[in-house]
Amino acid sequence: MSDTRYLSWPFFEERHRQLAGELESWAAEHVPHEHGTDVDAQCRSLVRALGAAGWLKHAVGGRSHGAADAIDTRSICLIRETLARHSGLADFAFAMQGLGSGAISLQGTPEQKERYLSRVARGEAIAAFALSEPEAGSDVAAMQCSARVEGGQAVLDGEKTWISNGGIADFYVVFCRTAEAPGARGISAFIVDAGTPGFEIAERIEVIAPHPLARLRFTNCRIPLSQRIGAAGEGFKIAMRTLDIFRTSVAAAALGFARRAMDEALHRATTRKMFNQVLADFQLTQAKLAQMATTIDASALLVYRAAWQRDQGHNVTREAAMAKLTATEGAHQVIDAAVQIFGGLGVVSGQPVERLYREIRSLRIYEGASEVQQLIIARELLKDLGNKAPAPSPVRKTP
C-alpha cells in the first residue's frame, strides 16, 4: 500500500480516512490484477462488484436512491485514486457510473432519478456520457447532433464519438443541439435507453488501454420529451457542471496511477543489483525518485484542494483545471521515470509500469485536453484581473 500520510491533511474528515482504508482492503481482495481479453465482460463484472459492495453509491447523489445525500467530491476522488492504483479498468468502471449519471444526479426530475440512479448505484445499470462528436471534441459548442420536438417527442439525428461504455451501457446521457439560441446556449441533454429504435453503435473503437469505447449513431431516434434533463437549452451548463465534478476526479485517477508507478519504482530501485550496489544507491536515481515524489505531492495537494473547495459549495472551475493539468501531466512524467528505472523490463507487455504507461495517456486528452485546461486557468485569471483592474495610470510624457 502507498504512503497514506496525506490522509491526515485538513482537507479530509474522519469518514474519508475510514473510506480510504476500507476501500483499500476491498480492492486488494476483489479487484483482479490481470484482465483478460473480453473487456466488456470484465467491465460489467467490475460494475456489478462495485455496486454490490456499495462503492457506487458514492458516484451518484440522492439518499432516496440508495446513494449519498449529495455528491462528495473528496470521496469520489479517494475512490478513483485507490482503484486506479489497483486497476485502470476498475477506476474506469466506477468513474463512468458517476460521469454517465452525473447530469441526472444534478438536474434530473424525481422520476428520472428514481428510474436510473438506484440501478446505477447498485451496479445494475451501466451509464454513459455522450458529448463529443467527430467534429466537436475540444470545441464542444460546435456539436451538430440535433434533437427536434415533434408530436411530444424529441427526435435525435447525428453522431457521437469516443463514448466510453459505448456498446455496453444501458443508457446514454446525450447532448444535442436544440437551437434555442446559437452556440452553447442551444444545447439540451437527453437520456436515451440502449435498444431505442433509431439508435445504434456505429463502430467500436480499440484504444491502447482497452476499455469499451464506441461511435454512436442516431437516425430519426424518437424518445419521450420526459427524457430531457433540465430545461431546453440548459444542456451545455449541465455538461459543464458535471465535468466540474469529474474533471477533478480524472486528476485523482492520474494521481493513483502515479502512486502505483512510484511504489513499483521504489521496489525495483531498491532491489535491482548493479555495479555491486543497488540502483537506488546512485544519486541520479535518487534525483529521479525525489522528483517523482514531489510531483505526486504537488498533484495531491491540488486534487484535494479542488475537491474540498467544491464540497464547501464554491466554484472550482480554475482549481479543477489546475488539478487536472498538473496531475495528468505530472503522472505522465512519473510513470515515464518509472519505466526508465525498470529498464528493458519496463516496456515488456503486462508489466505494471508498461500498463500504466498506456493507461495515463488518454487522461491528458479527455474531459478537456491539457491545452484546454491552460486556457480555462488563464481565462479565469484574466476574468479576475478584469474585475479588479485599477484605472490605468496616465502615460507620462517625456519632457
Ligand X SMILES: Cc1cc2nc3c(=O)[nH]c(=O)nc-3n(C[C@H](O)[C@H](O)[C@H](O)COP(=O)(O)OP(=O)(O)OC[C@H]3O[C@@H](n4cnc5c(N)ncnc54)[C@H](O)[C@@H]3O)c2cc1C
Return the CA Rg of the chain. 22
Q: Kindly tell me which of 269 and 372 has the beta carbon lying closer to ligand X.
A: 372
CB of 162 to ligand X, least distance (A): 3
Burial of 77 (0-12, 13-18, 19+ CB in 10 A): buried
Please state, as a whole number, how many other Cβ atoms lie within 10 Å of the Cβ of residue 392. Answer: 6
Helices 352-359 and 235-271: angle between axes, nearest 10 degrees: 160
Instruction: Give dist(CA 393, CA 181) in Å, integer.
Output: 40
Which one among 51, 61, 137, 330 touches ligand X, defined by CB under 6 A? Answer: 137
CB of 131 to ligand X, least distance (A): 3
Total chain residues near ligand X (CB under 6 A): 19
Decide: is 87 part of the binding site for ligand X (CB under 6 A): no
Please state, as a whole number, how many other Cβ atoms lie within 10 Å of the Cβ of residue 38. Answer: 11
Print the binding letters for residues 177-216 with ligand X: x by CB under 6 A, - otherwise.
------------------------------x-----x---
- Strand ranges (E), the chain: 127-130, 146-150, 153-164, 171-177, 187-193, 199-204, 213-224, 228-229, 273-274, 277-278
Per DSSP bridges, beta strands 153-164 and 213-224 are antiparallel
Contacts of 328 (CB under 8 A, 6+ apart): 250, 251, 254, 360, 363, 364, 370
Q: Is the dihedral of CA 162, 163, 164, 168 positive or negative?
A: negative
Name the active-site residue from 14, 81, 367, 380.
Answer: 367
What count of Cα atoms within 13 Å lies in the side-chain half-sphere of residue 212? 26
Decide: is 102 part of the binding site for ligand X (CB under 6 A): no
> Which residues 323-382 are close enough to bind ligand X by CB under 6 A?
362, 365-367, 369, 371-372, 375
Using the rule CB under 6 A, give the single segment among 38-46, 68-76, 124-132, 228-236 that binds ligand X. 124-132
Collapse the DSSP code of 19 into the 3-class scheme (helix H, G, I; strand E, B; otherwise coil) and give the result. Answer: helix
Decide: is 232 part of the binding site for ligand X (CB under 6 A): no
Decide: is 249 part of the binding site for ligand X (CB under 6 A): no
Question: Which residue matches cell numbers 460546435?
Answer: 142
The residues that bridge with 160 in the sheet, in sequence order, are: 216
Which one among 6, 11, 116, 129 touches ligand X, defined by CB under 6 A? Answer: 129
Q: Kindly tell me which of 3 and 371 has the beta carbon lying closer to ligand X.
A: 371
Decide: is 162 part of the binding site for ligand X (CB under 6 A): yes
Which one among 76, 83, 131, 323 touches ligand X, defined by CB under 6 A? Answer: 131
Q: Kindly tell me which of 131 and 168 has the beta carbon lying closer to ligand X.
A: 131
Query: Dihedral of the CA atoms 203, 204, 206, 211 (nearest 10)?
Result: 150
**Catalytic residue at 200?**
no
Decide: is 257 part of the binding site for ligand X (CB under 6 A): no
Q: Residue type at 254?
A: A
Decide: is 7 part of the binding site for ligand X (CB under 6 A): no
Decide: is 248 part of the binding site for ligand X (CB under 6 A): no
Which one among 132, 227, 295, 309 touches ligand X, defined by CB under 6 A? Answer: 132
Residue of 130, 180, 185, 183 whose CA lies nearest to 158:
130
Which one among 64, 138, 144, 220 touches ligand X, defined by CB under 6 A? Answer: 138
CB of 35 to ligand X, least distance (A): 16
Q: Kindly tell me which of 174 and 266 has the beta carbon lying closer to ligand X.
A: 174
CB nearest ligand X: which residue? 137
What count of Cα atoms within 13 Å lies in the side-chain half-sphere of residue 321? 18
CB of 256 to ligand X, least distance (A): 17
Footprint on this chain of ligand X (rule: CB under 6 A): 129-132, 137-138, 162-164, 207, 213, 362, 365-367, 369, 371-372, 375
The residues that are catalytic are 367
